[in-house]
Structure 1
Amino acid sequence: MPVPVPSAQAPEPQPAALDLPLKGTIARWSHGVSPASIAMAQADWLTHLLVSPSKQAELASSALQKSLQWSQFASQVWSGRCAPCAEPLPGDKRFSKREWQLPPFATLAQAFLLTEQWWSEATHGVRGVSRHHEEVAAFGVRQLLDMLSPSNLPMLNPEVIRATVTQSGANLATGLANLWRDAVAVAADERPRGVEAFRPGEGVALTPGRVVHSNHLAELIRYEPATPRVHKEPLLIVPSWIMKFYILDLTPDDSLVRYLVGQGHTVYMVSWRNPGSEDRDLGLDDYLELGVLDALRAIQALHPRTRVHAAGYCLGGTLLAMAAALLGRRHDNVLKSVTLLAAEVDFEQPGELGLFIDESQIALLEDAMAERGYLDGRQMAGAFQMIDSKDLVWSKLVHEYLMGARTPVTPMRAWNADATRLPARMHSQYLRRLYLENELAEDAYTALGERVSLRDIRVPVFVVATERDHVSPWQSVYKVLRLVHAHTDFVLVSGGHNVGIVSPPAGPLAYAEASYRHTHHAADAAPPDPQEWLARAPAAQHGSWWTCWHGWLVQHSQGMATARPVPKVRIEGQLIPAPGSYVLQR
């Protein structure tokens, strides 16, 4: 297979060799979070707070009021007739168990929640602090508070105390063994115990098919038809290369690929290579050319004179939007429609991920990547954990290390542990050009030597966003409706970035609370404000958005044809069955 020549872009500033060992160590210990960025944000906040007597007086008054509220609660809690004076934030379940409603633990929980409220007031609304620094300062305080929560301390957590008494301390002994096992696995660079049951091609990614095209960066998988007749237009799915593709083909009960094949679609999937140090100079242009455009050419060769439905998930959707805009600019009508799943093209408000996007953060990551030529996926996973540390870090401490339980390994958890690497050049371009500069939304992005304008997308566009998405906030995903010049359908789905997308309509893994809102808009007719859209949107429909999307694809297809088996294409002399070879790379 030929190794591609890296795409031509203006050279980014190169890290100084003398800095790399120190900055690489800092990045590993901080999960890629820049201490300098945190320090600057805290200094900005504290400096402006010190010269704001009015804010200080406001906070002093709030502290006194909360102290009186807590004192009144503490004096009445033993009677059982007092209402709580503070409520946890939505999704915070640390104090939801019955034991936390009993004194004296209820007073501890209320003291913590009131403290949490006060610090939120203290870190927000200080005049003169930049918005980004305000968010970073609040994030830093939130991390400290989550660490000091009474739920994390065995002598203050009533659930742990009860378990310790009833089990004569066996829970703590088991928890210590769990901690030792995890520490050894991390030190030895091993994968979590139990994920071996979900190896692609054995426990997950079981939909039959075959690799029909391959290049240095991607394999193209075509899945076997499951119906005697299929829709004429094939469907290409472009997943994010930050993740392995098989999140869309987990077990048979929750596989989007299997569902689509079962509905008569001819499905193609891009499976990305897991890059190494030798791929450090691969850029976004290489991913665009070898991942999307080359795949479309391969599909056209197998389906002459047939247009293609294309769908992209997360960053794969961002890349697909670039490709669709380029093809529209070239008047190439290979695409029949475009579907974007939890994919941003406007990064002005990227949600909590924006906490990690500023010059200091990006420079630290670039220095960390310069040593090995890539960003290890585990570093990115660590950053995601910090965003929701109370659930992803501290709840695990309580559940596994204090209660002595073991969280069962599910297909989704096993996939989440199957980390991928990101080439240094590509990741730097992605952070700088898309997140920091927002070039794609502002018609300033160039790819393969051409300007990319999303207005050149004129085929029907189907957009899916999820309500509780910390990676691609639905309000940001929505903005594509005003950036393209096409008929658009927007679907807002219950759930988060992964669970909201992997939402089967039936079977044991179907989510009982799954629902979605769906609207159709003519070109340039969608409300400009996502909150305005939400106010006008119809009531949520119960069920999976998969059925809605299938109906939309059928609506934009042109009849059926006799199904044909996957051609036996040899890759370097071999027939490679699905899920291919790239997905197995470590």
Structure 2
Amino acid sequence: MADVAERSQRLVSEFLRRQEDGVRQQPGTGARGGVLDPFNIGGAFAEMTARLMQNPAQLMQAQVGFWGDYLTLWGNTARRMMGEQVAPVIAEDAKDKRFKDEAWRDNEIFDFIKQSYLLSSRYLQNVVRGAESKDDPKAAQKVDFYTRQFVDAMSPTNFVMTNPEVLRRTAETGGENLLKGLSNLLADLERGKGNLRISMVDRTKFTIGKNIAVTPGKVVFRNDLMELIQYAPTTDKVLKRPLLILPPWINKFYVLDLKPKNSFIRWAVSQGHTVFVCSWVNPDESLAEKGFDDYMREGPYAALDAIEQATGEREVNAVGYCLGGTLLAATLAHMAAKNDTRVKSATFLTTMVDFEEAGELGVFIDEGQLQTLETKMSERGYLPGSEMANTFNMLRANDLIWSFVVQNYLLGQEPFPFDLLYWNDDSTRMPARMHSFYLRRMYQQNDLVKPGAITLDGVALNLRKIEVPSYLLSTREDHIAPWRSAYRATQIFGGQTRFVLAASGHIAGVVNPPESGKYSHWVNETLDPSPDTWLEGATELAGSWWPDWQRWVSAQDRRQVPARVPGSGKLPALADAPGDYVRVMAGD
């Protein structure tokens, strides 16, 4: 008992020591006693530790609970070894893929290791959460996030001697899996030029334009920031209004055009849309001074002018995905101030315009981290794609980091050829000026939602002036644009608004073709101010949200015209889809 109590106290003490490094945070520098603290977490953990030490009774209570649970676990394990059936002291989440191997349940030793880890994890997180400041939710969120990162890293599944699947493979292959894993590790270090860049996918199995991003079309316009792709029709008649899609420039556009069977772009073409997509450039240092206003001018505004030349149509339906949706909202507010009515309907896919509760991405947005980031970007002119990718991967560390550590380095397996992971690994750079503006003015200061707080191209923006019909699609398990935050746009936009909530996450919930039969969606015509009240009154419908959107967007204007062939208008074809910009890798 004394040993368990001592170990529980040592667990917390060692964890806190790792976070603080025994030195004080120097305000505004991001460095502590000369130790680099790029995530600016030292101050948050120091404050939390001070509160913890002020309330020793709380720590003692947590230790007693941990000690009692551990004592029960010891007893249960002994009873299991004698043949009794006993219920677990603590069970893993049913969705936790780390413990899918049957040995974690069938073998008493591995069951003990698993439950010991789960108890320690719960104890550590309870202690941390119990000492969090109610007055500083941002610091509390940061402490909670990095505690969870530590807990995930310490999982027994991540180590050879405590992972039954790895031990079996090692015995079966005579250790060849570990040698192969070492080779994979060295290859990833070489690929990252000294930094570990974990291979998530067999990149040799995909070629852009050959077996991924293959919907036929032509590049009909190009400027510094984007190539505009017009896709070839597959129907004799098309809707009169063209469809303009604005993807996020944090990723490549072909998340909407992966394989033919799950391509939203191909499906939209088959529904009678003349589809145009902005394929954003992968910027280098020469575009360091491009700002958010440049993305507006050279993105949607330039696309609208080009679409009119290509088709003769001034009116369009527009779709914005994630950051592309944020840009679309800013552009619509800009257009409203100028009485520009060319966009007749707007679809926002997993988009935030109110960043007050931005989810766990907010962990990376504070003054210390922004200063560190801006210093790095000023040296290079851009944010490297690998740093952006690492940030997103940390939001789902067990799925996007540790699972690959186990598969690649411990089991010695080759990555699987998966189109979505290929896209996820195809990262993009961010221009310094644009990215600083986006993080500061939207994430940190939440200015976009404040009338007149942001001015683009001399025009003060007011999202409440947006009166075009809007379709808002969010996903229930979104870790990038939390659906409750995205829902707030229903109370901001001035026009008729439809909100639909899809199952799954930021990508899988969006890229969900009807033929897959996967993931349901919820609809509710009443847009209550409370998202939870909206969900309570919503109706769950089976399958993809795509048909619901098609009914909505086609109802805006059902007029049809003969199909338009890319390059047949006033804009000649410059190249075959998917164009040149999308082929530029972040490491090029």
TM-score by length of 1: 0.89
Please state how far the C-alpha of 1:196 moved relative to its aligned partner.
Answer: 4.1
Please state how far the C-alpha of 1:180 moved relative to its aligned partner.
Answer: 2.3
Alpha-carbon spacing, 1:570–1:186, altered in 2? closer, same or farther (3 Å): farther
In the alignment, is residue 559 of structure 1 matched against residue 563 of structure 2? no
- The correspondence of residues 62-461 of structure 1 with structure 2, limited to 5 A, is 62-78=65-81, 79-89=83-93, 91-101=95-105, 102-126=107-131, 128=133, 130-187=136-193, 194-304=202-312, 306-443=314-451, 444-461=453-470
Please state how far the C-alpha of 1:584 moved relative to its aligned partner.
Answer: 1.7
SS state of the match for residue 94, structure 1?
helix
Q: Which residue of 1 aligns with 2:528?
A: 527
Please state how far the C-alpha of 1:287 moved relative to its aligned partner.
Answer: 0.5
SS state of the match for residue 521, structure 2?
strand
The one-letter code matched in structure 1 to 2:579 is G
Output one character per residue of 1:448-506: Cα deviation in whole Å (capped at 9) or x when no partner. Answer: 11111111111111011111111111111111111111211111111211111111112
Alpha-carbon spacing, 1:224–1:513, altered in 2? closer, same or farther (3 Å): closer
CA distance in 2, matches of 1:213, 1:65: 68
CA distance in 2, matches of 1:196, 1:103: 42
Q: Which residue of 1 aligns with 2:476?
A: 467
Alpha-carbon spacing, 1:569–1:302, altered in 2? closer, same or farther (3 Å): closer
Unaligned runs of 5+ in 2: 1-28
CA distance in 1, matches of 2:404, 2:205: 22
- Do the aligned partners of 2:241 and 2:313 also contact (CA within 8 Å) in 1? no
CA RMSD of aligned residues (A): 2.3
Q: Which residue of 2 aligns with 1:500?
A: 509
Unaligned runs of 5+ in 1: 1-22
SS state of the match for residue 332, structure 2?
helix
Q: Which residue of 2 aligns with 1:545?
A: 545
Single out whichever of 237-246 and 65-74 deviates more from structure 2.
Answer: 65-74
The one-letter code matched in structure 1 to 2:522 is R
The one-letter code matched in structure 2 to 1:296 is L
SS state of the match for residue 162, structure 2?
coil
Alpha-carbon spacing, 1:514–1:334, altered in 2? closer, same or farther (3 Å): same
Q: Which residue of 1 aligns with 2:11?
A: none
Please state how far the C-alpha of 1:228 moved relative to its aligned partner.
Answer: 0.3
Identical aligned pairs, as a percentage? 38
CA distance in 2, matches of 1:529, 1:313: 23
Q: Which residue of 2 aligns with 1:583?
A: 582
CA distance in 2, matches of 1:127, 1:548: 43
Alpha-carbon spacing, 1:570–1:399, altered in 2? closer, same or farther (3 Å): farther
Please state how far the C-alpha of 1:568 moved relative to its aligned partner.
Answer: 4.7
- Do the aligned partners of 2:307 and 2:314 also contact (CA within 8 Å) in 1? no
SS state of the match for residue 503, structure 1?
coil
Please state how far the C-alpha of 1:515 moved relative to its aligned partner.
Answer: 1.1
Q: Which residue of 2 aligns with 1:9?
A: none
Q: Which residue of 1 aligns with 2:21?
A: none
CA distance in 1, matches of 2:63, 2:198: 49
Please state how far the C-alpha of 1:569 moved relative to its aligned partner.
Answer: 7.0
TM-score by length of 2: 0.89
Single out whichever of 79-88 and 463-472 deviates more from structure 2.
Answer: 79-88
CA distance in 2, matches of 1:570, 1:581: 21
- Do the aligned partners of 1:326 and 1:456 also contact (CA within 8 Å) in 2? no
- Do the aligned partners of 1:73 and 1:107 also contact (CA within 8 Å) in 2? no
1:42 to 41, 45, 70: 45
- Do the aligned partners of 1:493 and 1:517 also contact (CA within 8 Å) in 2? yes
CA distance in 2, matches of 1:551, 1:574: 31
CA distance in 2, matches of 1:148, 1:433: 36
Please state how far the C-alpha of 1:188 moved relative to its aligned partner.
Answer: 7.7
The one-letter code matched in structure 2 to 1:560 is Q
SS state of the match for residue 351, structure 2?
coil
Alpha-carbon spacing, 1:170–1:306, altered in 2? closer, same or farther (3 Å): same
Output one character per residue of 1:20-79: Cα deviation in whole Å (capped at 9) or x when no partner. Answer: xxx9999xx99xx724x1101101110111112442243233223322332333232323
- Do the aligned partners of 1:237 and 1:267 also contact (CA within 8 Å) in 2? yes
- Do the aligned partners of 1:493 and 1:500 also contact (CA within 8 Å) in 2? yes
CA distance in 1, matches of 2:570, 2:68: 74
Q: Which residue of 1 aligns with 2:18?
A: none
CA distance in 2, matches of 1:53, 1:164: 45
- Do the aligned partners of 2:215 and 2:265 also contact (CA within 8 Å) in 1? yes
Paired residues, number = 549
CA distance in 2, matches of 1:399, 1:264: 43
CA distance in 2, matches of 1:388, 1:405: 21
Single out whichever of 242-251 and 386-395 deviates more from structure 2.
Answer: 386-395
Please state how far the C-alpha of 1:227 moved relative to its aligned partner.
Answer: 0.3
Q: Which residue of 2 aligns with 1:17?
A: none
Q: Which residue of 1 aligns with 2:519?
A: 514
Q: Which residue of 2 aligns with 1:5?
A: none
The one-letter code matched in structure 1 to 2:518 is E
Output one character per residue of 1:384-403: Cα deviation in whole Å (capped at 9) or x when no partner. Answer: 22222222222111112111
- Do the aligned partners of 2:256 and 2:511 also contact (CA within 8 Å) in 1? yes
CA distance in 2, matches of 1:125, 1:345: 32
Please state how far the C-alpha of 1:331 moved relative to its aligned partner.
Answer: 2.0
Output one character per residue of 1:307-362: Cα deviation in whole Å (capped at 9) or x when no partner. Answer: 21000011000000111111122222111100000111111111111111111111
